[in-house]
Amino acid sequence: MLNIAVTGAAGRMGRTLIEAVHRSENEQLRLSAAVQREGSSLIGADAGELAGLGRLGVPIVADLADAEFDLLIDFTLVEPSLRNLEYCRNNDKRLVIGTTGFDERQKDTISEAGKDIPLVFAANMSVGMNLCFHMLKQMSEVLGADSDIEIIETHHRHKLDSPSGTALRLGEVVADSLGRDLNECAVYGREGVSEPRDRNTIGFATVRAGDVVGDHTVLFASEGERVELTHKASSRMTFAKGAVRAAQWLQDQSAGYYDMQDVLGLRD
């Protein structure tokens, strides 16, 4: 039995994760704890009732130290995620991180923790999107040298980081495939009169509007044709199911720093 805790339990993603764990067809997975920030009026409430599932007998707590679990699923914010990472590392707990917005130093901290505990960290937990990452490598190698490459992403009005972690990961896949450094070739905005487009750049366009869960398109445009790779998420459940799949896979892994390419067996 793998006892799973969900943090950020009262948020939209937290409630979806609670549902995904509870409804998993794997009987070896069990929701054992739900965590919400200290001071929340929902502390003590039943996690199942909060998620619309009926009473599960799992009260929401304010501190990981008060939760019994083997693995934590964390889709919160950068600073809380780093604190949760430290707790899991110090207490030998497995960890699935779906939080985005980390800088390079913080990503290094996550990678270092993989020396001590098994963890999965991915910018996007969707199975479909991770298949897109895999296909994008080949598309970039075939089309990239002769194309202008643009990445367009749309998310709901509440999303804080921009571009999204998924858009940046798409950019990294393209850049790595073409032997470029994304830090040097990325263009994050255009305004006014400028020089003609440099083909070696990778452009990003960001849209924040309404309740869009997440749309991403990579555009390869050359003389005479345009090829687009698009993924559209219509429900947060797609990310939650991916996280539960990662949790199940992580149960049998030794300490290490993994991502969804490892979980899905897509690693080259």
| Residue whose pair of structure tokens reads 């009262």 in the numeric block | 10
Which pLDDT score is estimated for 268?
Answer: 72
pLDDT band of 160, cuts 50, 70, 90: confident
pTM equals 0.87
**In the sheet that 186-187 helps form, which strands lie side by side, from edge to edge?**
186-187, 202-208, 148-155, 214-222, 225-233
> What mean pLDDT is predicted for residues 145-161?
95
E strand or H helix at 94: strand 94-97
Using one digit for the tens of pLDDT, what is the confidence trace for 106-133? Answer: 999 999 999 999 999 998 999 999 999 9
Using one digit for the tens of pLDDT, what is the confidence trace for 244-256? Answer: 999 999 999 999 9
Which pLDDT score is estimated for 195?
Answer: 82
Work out whether the CA dihedral 179, 164, 204, 134 comes out positive or negative: positive
Judge whether residue 229 has pLDDT over 90. Answer: yes
Which pLDDT score is estimated for 208?
Answer: 97
Judge whether residue 193 has pLDDT over 70. Answer: no
Mean pLDDT of the residues in the chain: 95
Structure tokens at 131: 């298949």
Active-site annotation, residues: 155, 159
> What mean pLDDT is predicted for residues 38-61?
95
Judge whether residue 237 has pLDDT over 90. Answer: yes
Angle between helices 237-250 and 127-143 (to 10 degrees): 90
Judge whether residue 138 has pLDDT over 90. Answer: yes
